[in-house]
Amino acid sequence: MSSSNEKPIPPNAPRSASPWIAFRHPTFTVVWIATVVANVGTWMYNAASGWLMTNLDADPLTVSLVQVASSLPMFLFALPAGALADTVDKRRFLIGCEIALTIVAGASAVLVGLNLVTPPILLLFTFLLGAGAAFTAPAWQSVVPQLVPKEDLAAAVASNGVGVNISRAIGPALGGVVIGGLGIAAPFWVNALSNFAVIGALLWWRPDPSPGSGLPPERLAGAMVVGFRHVRFNPNLRATLVRAVAFFFFASAYWALLPLVARNQIAGGPELYGILLGAIGIGAVVGAFALSWMKTTLGPDRLVAAGTLGTSLSLILLGIAHHAATGLAACLIAGISWIAVLATVNVSVQVSLPDWVRGRGLAMFVTVLFGAMTAGSALWGQLASGLGLPVAHFVAAAGAVAGIVLTWRWKLQAGAGVDLAPSMHWPAPILTNDADADHGPVLVTVEYLIAPERRDAFLSSVMKLGLQRRRDGAYAWDIFEDTAESGRFLETFMVASWLEHLRQHQRVTNADRVVQDAVREFGAMAEPKVTHLIAARPPSK
C-alpha cells in the first residue's frame, strides 16, 4: 500500500460525523486495519530507502531522486489508473495490483539483504513500487462508498484519514528503530510482508453487485480522452489544480531533503530520521482532528493560505536546524500544515466532480500533485547540491508565500452545494434505423427561435451550456446564427460515437438541467428542435 492512498471527503457527506461511527461496519473495520498495517510497512520502506541512499551516495541530488522516483509514477500513471477505476471491477483490480506490489517489494528486500543494491537499483525499485501505488490510488479512493452506507461516508473518510496519519507517525519511527536493531534490510522485508494483510482483506471482502448503467464499459483510451476533456472544461476543478501546484511544488522540498537534514545538518542517525518523519505524521494526526474547527474558522481559501504559511515556517526552521528539537518542531508544523492543505484541496476536487468521472478527476489531481512533487524534488535537490541545504529550504519557503499571492484569484470549493447527481431528464433519442454502438461521429443539433431583443442574453447563457456539453463528452461545440431569419440559432455538438452520446444522456446533472432550462426559456414560444445525425458511410464492397 502507498501512503498516497488518502481517502478524500465525499461531496455530500455531513462534515461533523465522528470518525468512530464507521467501525460498526465489520467490512470497513477489516479493510481499515489491513490498510493501516500495509501503510506502516510502506512508510518503513520510505524511511529505509531514503536512509540507504545516504549510505550509497550522499550527494543531495541523488538523495532527492528517491523522492522523485517515488512521485514520478503518480504523475505518469495516475490518469490511466483513474480511467481503469471508472471502468473495471475495483476489487479484482486491487487484488492483482497488491499481489504484484508484494512480489516487487520482496525482490527489493532480497537484493538489500544480499548487499547487491546500487543507487540505480534502489531508484528502480522505488519507481516500481510507486507505479503500483499510482495504479491503486484512484481505485482505493473509489471503494469507500462500497464499504459503508451513504450516511456513514463522512465517518469512514475521517477514519481513513486518521489511519493514514497513524501509519505515517508509526512507520518512519519504527523503521529507524528496526534499522538500528536488525539492519537496513529489515524494513524492506516488513514492507513486503505487510501487503499480505491488505490482500487477505480484499479476498475476504465480497461487495454487493452494482446495478450498472446498462451500457458497455468505456474503453481505456476513450475514457482517458473524455476525462481530459472534462477537466479542461471544468473551471472549478481547474482552479483547484492551480492551487495544488502552488503548494505541493514548494512543499516537496522538505520531503526530498529531510534525510540530509537529519544526517548532515543535525548529525543524527536513522533513528532520528525516522523520528522526524514520524513527527510529520503526528502533526498530521493533530491537524486532522482540528480540521473541522480550522475550516469553520477560516474557510477553505484562508485555511490553505494558513497551511502554506505554516509550511514556509517549517522550511525556514529546517534550513537553520542544527539540533533535533528544531527539526522536530519544524516537522510537527509541517504535518499540521500538510493535512490542512491536502484535505481542503481534496474536498475541493470532490465537490467539482460528478460520479461518472470521479476516478479520472481524482487521478488528474493525483497527477498534478505528484507531478509538482516530482519536479520540485528534482529542483530542490539540484539547488541544495549547488548552493547548500539552507538556501534550498529558504528559496522554497519564499516561493510558497509568493504562490499564495499569485494564485489567490482561483477559489477553492466553488462547486460546493452544486447538485451533480444525474438528472436523467434527456428523452431517449428516436431511431428509424439501427445505429451501431461504435458508429460515429454523431452530430447533435438544437434549433432555438429567440426574440431578437434577447439575443445577447441568450448567447451569454448558451455559452455556459457549451461548457457542459464538452464536459460531458462532446469534442466540438458551437452556436450558429441564421443570416436570413432573425432570432434563429442552431447549437451543434459532436461526440465520437452513438454509444458515447447515449452515455451523455446519463452524465447530465441536475445542475446542468438548471442551465439548460434557462436557455430553453429564451425560446419559450417554440420548443427547441433536437436532431441527431450519424456520419454516413457507403457500404463496403
Contact 384, 260 (CB under 8 A): yes
Q: What is the dihedral of CA 460, 466, 472, 474, to 10 degrees?
A: 180
- Cβ neighbourhood burial of 388 (10 Å; 0-12, 13-18, 19+): middle
Three-state DSSP state, 480: strand
Q: What is the pLDDT of residue 158?
A: 63
Q: What is the pLDDT of residue 385?
A: 85
Three-state DSSP state, 208: coil
Q: How far from 471 is each of 38, 89, 196, 216, 229, CA to CA, in Å?
A: 37, 25, 40, 20, 6
Three-state DSSP state, 139: helix
Other C-beta atoms closer than 10 Å to the C-beta of 267 total 11
C-alpha to C-alpha distance for 368 and 248, rounded to whole angstroms: 9
Contact 187, 170 (CB under 8 A): no
Class of domain 21-204+221-406: mainly alpha
Task: Please state at what angle helix 324-350 crosses helix 235-260, rounded to 10 degrees.
Answer: 160
DSSP state letters, 207-270: PPPP---SSPPPPHHHHHHHHHHHHHT-HHHHHHHHHHHHHHHHHHHHHHHHHHIIIIIS---H
Contact 360, 139 (CB under 8 A): no
Q: What is the pLDDT of residue 10?
A: 39
C-alpha to C-alpha distance for 248 and 375, rounded to whole angstroms: 10
C-alpha to C-alpha distance for 207 and 30, rounded to whole angstroms: 13
Pick from 424, 415, 416, 417: nearest CA to 513: 424
Contact 42, 191 (CB under 8 A): yes
The residue type of 159 is S
Largest CA distance in the chain: 86
Q: What is the pLDDT of residue 3?
A: 39
Three-state DSSP state, 490: strand
Taking the domain 442-534, which CATH number applies? 3.30.70.100
Contact 153, 145 (CB under 8 A): yes
- Which helix or strand (DSSP H or E) is residue 474 part of? none
Strand partners, 493: 444, 477
Model confidence over 360-389: pLDDT tens digits?
A: 888 888 888 888 888 888 899 889 888 889
C-alpha cell belonging to residue 534: 450519424
Other C-beta atoms closer than 10 Å to the C-beta of 255 total 24
Alpha-helical segments (H) within 4-118:
26-56, 60-87, 90-113
- Cβ neighbourhood burial of 421 (10 Å; 0-12, 13-18, 19+): exposed
Contact 51, 270 (CB under 8 A): yes
Q: What is the pLDDT of residue 48?
A: 85
C-alpha to C-alpha distance for 208 and 23, rounded to whole angstroms: 19
Domain borders along the chain are: 21-204+221-406, 442-534
Q: What is the pLDDT of residue 330?
A: 94
* DSSP one-letter code for 413: S
- Cβ neighbourhood burial of 418 (10 Å; 0-12, 13-18, 19+): middle
C-alpha to C-alpha distance for 218 and 210, rounded to whole angstroms: 16
Other C-beta atoms closer than 10 Å to the C-beta of 259 total 26
C-alpha to C-alpha distance for 415 and 410, rounded to whole angstroms: 12
**Strands 476-481 and 529-534, how do they pair?**
unpaired
pLDDT (tens place) for every residue of the chain, 541 residues total: 333 433 333 334 434 445 577 788 888 889 889 988 998 888 888 888 877 888 888 777 777 788 778 878 877 887 888 777 777 778 888 899 899 999 999 999 999 889 888 888 989 988 999 888 888 877 787 777 778 776 676 567 667 767 877 787 788 778 778 887 788 888 899 989 998 998 999 999 887 765 555 667 777 777 788 888 888 889 889 999 999 999 999 999 988 888 888 888 888 877 788 788 788 878 887 887 787 788 888 888 999 999 999 999 999 999 998 899 999 999 999 999 988 898 888 878 878 888 788 778 888 888 888 888 888 888 998 898 888 899 999 999 999 999 999 999 999 877 766 777 777 777 777 665 666 667 778 999 999 888 888 888 889 888 988 888 998 888 999 999 998 888 889 999 999 888 888 888 888 887 888 888 888 888 665 678 888 888 877 766 5
Q: What is the pLDDT of residue 521?
A: 80
